[in-house]
Amino acid sequence: MRILKFGGTSLSNSKKFLEVSKIIEKKFKNDNIAIVLSAPAKITNYLEQINKNITFNKNSKNIFQKIETIFYELSNGINKQQNNFPNNNINKYITNTFDDLKNKIKKIKLLNDNSKKLFSEIISKGEIISIKIMQQLLISKNYLTFYIDPIKNIVTNNDYFESDVNISKTKKNIQKIKIPNKHIILMPGFIAGNKNHELVTLGRNGSDYSAAILAVCLNAKVCEIWTDVDGIYTSDPKIIPTAKLLKSISYQEAIELSSFGAKILHPKTILPLFKSNIKCIIKNTYFPEKTGTIIQNIFEEQSTNIKGITYLNNIVNIVIKINIFKNINFIIEKIFSIFLNFDIQILFHVTSYLENKIYFYIIQKYKDQIKNILKKKLQKELIYDIINIINIDQTLKLINIVGNNINNNINVQKKIFLSLKNTNLNIISTNTTFSKNSFIIITNNNNIHENIKIIHNKLFYKINIIEIFLIGIGGVAKALLKQIQKQSQILKNKNIIFKICSISNSKKMLINLDGINLITWKEQFHTTHKKFCIKKIIKYAKNISLFNPVIIDCTASQEIANFYYDILKNNINIVTPNKKANTNTWKEYANIRNIAIKKNKKFFYETNVSAGLPIIKTLKNLFDSGDELISFEGILSGSLSFIFGKLEEGLSISEATIMAKKLGFTEPNPKDDLSGLDVARKLLILARESGYKLELEDIKIIPILPKYMLKIKDKNTFISELSKLNEYFYNKIKLAKKYKKVLRFIGTIKKGGLCKVELTEVDKKNPLYNVKNGENALIIYSKYYQPIPLVLKGYGAGNNVTAAGIFSDLLQLLP
């Protein structure tokens, strides 16, 4: 005997019903089979909505209409494909069923009927009609069918909802039934009967449970659960698209996964199968040939691996403080028996003997009910102040990491703790003693999907993937792509993959989430017609299936910088040489940092100052370890270092500027360099890193260009105007030389955060005397570094060094 249970997702329309009937036919060729069906997808949700506003009004009328339409379409659709299908009868049956319900609802107030009884009748109608349609479909295909009435045969306690089945009584009932040979057995899922033979239901998703009960009662070898995914995954594949399919898991693991949120199985399904040693197989109705997941006895030594991660959204804790020191265990036992008697599941509990408190974690919907019961049953203890019930109104979330015996394996626990390191979970409690197969984390974070994704990928993947969305394709970006392409094999050997998912300039974008080929990207970009849109890039990059997405902003654009807040908010990292965001107002500067911390995302900008020279990291490390800035002096502009070096060699300022631009040393518009604005921005960034709350206007620039030149917008006009200054600079250099000095464009930060940018004559004694040819030098006097300062020196501009700085930031994104 084989049980086949088809869920609502397998029965949502006529096409799927016909597919299911084909699977049934195929299985019936080799085996005796019993079929358990759910209601078509969404039907039970609608029926539940009717229950919520039990009066017959416009709203419930609409819902009824929706439900009836689904069923009519279902029946009519089958009729088109299947000869002899009694469509008219079925349509009549649907109409009568719902007319009858509507009448009952209209009457319920007048008669003051037992509303719970009517609720369970309403909510089960999907299953009843579902099985009726399947039965007629099989009959019209000339099969013999046999109906098992769950109300008569599946015996439960008296609860109308979430009832527990009395398996031994049910088995007796079912084994008494004389099932004729060569009949396909059919039973609606989700439904059972109480002692008075009234209809009761087994809780949402309860058809899985029905199938398990029937499997036990019919001594089946296998219970097959047919659904819309290939089997049980390491996490819900609809939320974590990188989840991996599990070929087989143990009964214990399946119980734990389903009890803590894996809605693929009703939590009560596995225990009866486990006790009777019946295999359970999860199969995909849309791809019946796939093997699915087998749940069976697995010998311990085979599996101390982590199998899955699940979560429950609405958890609360009930905290009871015990104010006496004697007989504590007696009170604890009493409290437990109250939970047990009222059938309220304690997910887990923690007893703190230090605080004399017990923390019970339960599903939120039971909170008020259990509080009232506890108040009643512990009235005496409350009056005499033996206990207090502490009110905590916080909704919590529970994450459970499941695997056979994981709690007896220190290495697995280490791995779990390491995976938590990369999240921003606010962990309220962890519990490793509740079960040897579960590692439970309680948190109050609201959106935990992103954190589960991080934990999941860390636990189940060895490979570190960074998905790159590159904006701007100037010299730096091109150099970066070359470096990534060249290094890809070496990174791969270290299990690191940099996947380029998009390349864009201000006009268009090339997108491929599988990764753009870096040998042919230029041709591909040339032929793309997709218009550039930053919002679309964010939409692609925030896709939850990505491991570690980053937007690299290789532009100098203020508009792109204005999106950084949104980018980080959408769980995307940022790496950028663009200084605009860091030189916005202090408020915006702080906002970006706050959202990055909140979302646990990285905002790296090492190349904002002096290209690849590790100045930002150095300052961060120094200040984190307690150092303080005393003063700073430096040549922060590779272009001006190059230009003033060339002036000493006899070139004119316009010639030197053109040359610097060609070599990629200048900003896109060299005016930004010569105006001193670019250096001022860098100085502002350094000052802010050092703890000064300054604005760009606070940086004093002593200009080297006449005012009218600062107003020129066009790059080429600017460069041609520059030649008018050739003689002025020639004379200035000559004068300095006379006193054995050179001209250097220097930025300084003095005590108190006084910042200045100016062209200064320096003599040989000054360490900046020899800094030229595009070199930068940063001289830091700090509490730790004095009187001899910390000096960083090296190329501070140029495509390759800037790209290398970005590369190094990317490597820092790795967990």
Q: How far is the CB of 37 from ligand ASP (least distance, A)?
A: 9
Q: Which is nearer to ligand ASP, 261 or 676 (CB)?
A: 261
Residue choice 79, 163, 210, 227 for contact with ligand ADP (CB under 6 A): 227
Concatenated DSSP letters of 255-301: HHHHHTT-TTS-TTSHHHHHHTT-EEEEEETTSTTS--EEEE---GG
Q: How far apart are CA 551 and CA 553, in angstroms?
A: 6
Query: Residue 42 interacts with ligand ADP (CB under 6 A)?
Result: no
9 binds, among ligand ADP, Mg ion, ligand ASP, none (CB under 5 to 8 A by kind): ligand ADP
Query: Residue 262 interacts with ligand ADP (CB under 6 A)?
Result: yes
The interface region with ligand ADP, picked from 236-244, 506-514, 622-630, 727-735 by CB under 6 A, is 236-244
Query: Residue 403 interacts with ligand ADP (CB under 6 A)?
Result: no
User: How many CA atoms lie less than 13 Å away from 336 in the CB half-sphere?
Assistant: 12
Query: Residue 236 interacts with ligand ADP (CB under 6 A)?
Result: yes
User: How many CA atoms lie less than 13 Å away from 205 in the CB half-sphere?
Assistant: 14
Q: CB of 752 within 8 A of CB of 690? A: no
Residue choice 123, 148, 264, 813 for contact with ligand ADP (CB under 6 A): 264
**10-21 burial, b if ≥16 CB within 10 A, otherwise e?**
bbbebebbebbb
233 binds, among ligand ADP, Mg ion, ligand ASP, none (CB under 5 to 8 A by kind): ligand ADP
262 binds, among ligand ADP, ligand ASP, Mg ion, none (CB under 5 to 8 A by kind): ligand ADP
Q: Which is nearer to ligand ADP, 293 or 584 (CB)?
A: 293
Query: Residue 256 interacts with ligand ADP (CB under 6 A)?
Result: no
Using CA atoms of 516, 517, 520, 524 in order, give the dihedral in degrees to the nearest 10. -20
Q: How far apart are CA 253 and CA 259, in angstroms?
A: 10
Query: Residue 637 interacts with ligand ADP (CB under 6 A)?
Result: no
Query: Residue 267 interacts with Mg ion (CB under 5 A)?
Result: no
690 binds, among ligand ADP, Mg ion, ligand ASP, none (CB under 5 to 8 A by kind): none
CA R_g for the chain: 36
Among 179, 129, 121, 130, which residue's Cα sits nearest to residue 151?
A: 121
Q: Which is nearer to ligand ASP, 151 or 497 (CB)?
A: 151
Residue choice 122, 232, 551, 640 for contact with ligand ADP (CB under 6 A): 232
Q: How far apart are CA 552 and CA 99, in angstroms?
A: 61
Residue choice 25, 149, 228, 566 for contact with ligand ADP (CB under 6 A): 228
Residue choice 3, 5, 6, 7 for contact with Mg ion (CB under 5 A): 7
Query: Residue 258 interacts with Mg ion (CB under 5 A)?
Result: no
Write each residue from 303 to 322 as x if it is in contact with ligand ADP (CB under 6 A), else as -, in one continuous string: -----x--------------
The interface region with ligand ADP, picked from 191-199, 230-238, 580-588, 765-773 by CB under 6 A, is 230-238
Query: Residue 536 interacts with ligand ADP (CB under 6 A)?
Result: no
Residue choice 8, 189, 292, 645 for contact with ligand ADP (CB under 6 A): 8
Residue choice 2, 3, 4, 9 for contact with ligand ADP (CB under 6 A): 9
Query: Residue 464 interacts with Mg ion (CB under 5 A)?
Result: no
Residue choice 172, 197, 238, 421 for contact with ligand ADP (CB under 6 A): 238
AA letter at 325: F
Query: Residue 237 interacts with ligand ADP (CB under 6 A)?
Result: yes
190 binds, among ligand ASP, ligand ADP, Mg ion, none (CB under 5 to 8 A by kind): ligand ASP
293 binds, among ligand ADP, ligand ASP, Mg ion, none (CB under 5 to 8 A by kind): none
Tokens for 534, please give them: 């930053």
Positions 194 through 223 that interact with ligand ADP (CB under 6 A) = 205
Q: How far is the CB of 44 from ligand ASP (least distance, A)?
A: 3
Q: How far is the CB of 235 from ligand ADP (least distance, A)?
A: 6
Query: Residue 205 interacts with Mg ion (CB under 5 A)?
Result: yes
42 binds, among ligand ASP, Mg ion, ligand ADP, none (CB under 5 to 8 A by kind): none
Q: How far apart are CA 454 and CA 481, in angstroms?
A: 27
User: Between vectors from CA 53 to CA 50 and to CA 54, what angle results, nearest 5°?
Assistant: 75
The interface region with ligand ADP, picked from 44-52, 209-217, 225-233, 741-749 by CB under 6 A, is 225-233
Query: Residue 253 interacts with ligand ADP (CB under 6 A)?
Result: no
Q: How many residues bind Mg ion (CB under 5 A)?
A: 2
| Residue in the structure block whose two tokens are 């807040």 | 565
The DSSP bridge partners found for residue 440 are 400, 431
Q: Which helix (H) or strand (E) holds 147?
A: strand 145-147
The interface region with Mg ion, picked from 199-207, 315-323, 686-694, 796-804 by CB under 5 A, is 199-207
Q: How far apart are CA 5 and CA 127, in angstroms?
A: 12
Q: Which is nearer to ligand ADP, 128 or 568 (CB)?
A: 128
Q: Which is nearer to Mg ion, 35 or 425 (CB)?
A: 35
User: Between vectors from CA 42 to CA 39 and to CA 43, what angle results, nearest 5°?
Assistant: 50
Q: Which residue is nearest to ligand ADP (CB)?
A: 7
Q: How far is the CB of 221 from Mg ion (least distance, A)?
A: 22
Q: Which residue is nearest to Mg ion (CB)?
A: 205
Q: How far apart are CA 242 and CA 18, in angstroms?
A: 31
Q: Give residues in contact with ligand ASP (CB under 6 A).
A: 7-8, 38-39, 44, 126, 189-190, 204-208
Q: CB of 638 within 8 A of CB of 798? A: yes
Q: How far is the CB of 212 from ligand ADP (least distance, A)?
A: 13
Using CA atoms of 753, 754, 759, 760 in order, give the dihedral in degrees to the nearest 10. -100
Q: Is 288 exposed, middle or buried (0-12, 13-18, 19+ CB in 10 A)?
A: middle
Catalytic residue flag (residue 377): no
Q: How far is CA 344 from each of CA 312, 347, 391, 546, rounded to the nearest angstrom?
A: 16, 9, 18, 39
Long-range contacts, stretch 790-793, CB < 8 angstroms, 24+ apart: 790/618, 790/622, 791/767, 792/610, 792/613, 792/614, 792/615, 792/618, 793/613
Phi first, then psi: give them for residue 599, nearest 5 degrees: -90, 0
Query: Residue 634 interacts with Mg ion (CB under 5 A)?
Result: no
Query: Residue 638 interacts with ligand ADP (CB under 6 A)?
Result: no
Q: How far apart are CA 813 and CA 548, in angstroms?
A: 8
Q: CB of 254 within 8 A of CB of 280? A: yes
Out of 125, 661, 682, 793, the active site residue is 682
Q: How far apart are CA 395 and CA 588, in angstroms?
A: 32
Query: Residue 676 interacts with ligand ADP (CB under 6 A)?
Result: no
Among 144, 135, 6, 146, which residue's Cα sits nearest to residue 82?
A: 135
Q: Which is nearer to ligand ASP, 286 or 525 (CB)?
A: 286
Tokens for 659, please give them: 């040359």
| Residue in the structure block whose two tokens are 């979302």 | 599
The DSSP bridge partners found for residue 156 are 165
237 binds, among ligand ADP, Mg ion, ligand ASP, none (CB under 5 to 8 A by kind): ligand ADP
Q: How far is the CB of 69 from ligand ASP (least distance, A)?
A: 18
Residues labelled catalytic: 682
Q: Rule CB under 5 A: which residues touch Mg ion?
A: 7, 205
Where on the chain is the footprint of ligand ADP (CB under 6 A)? Answer: 7-10, 38, 205, 227-229, 232-233, 235-238, 257, 262-264, 308
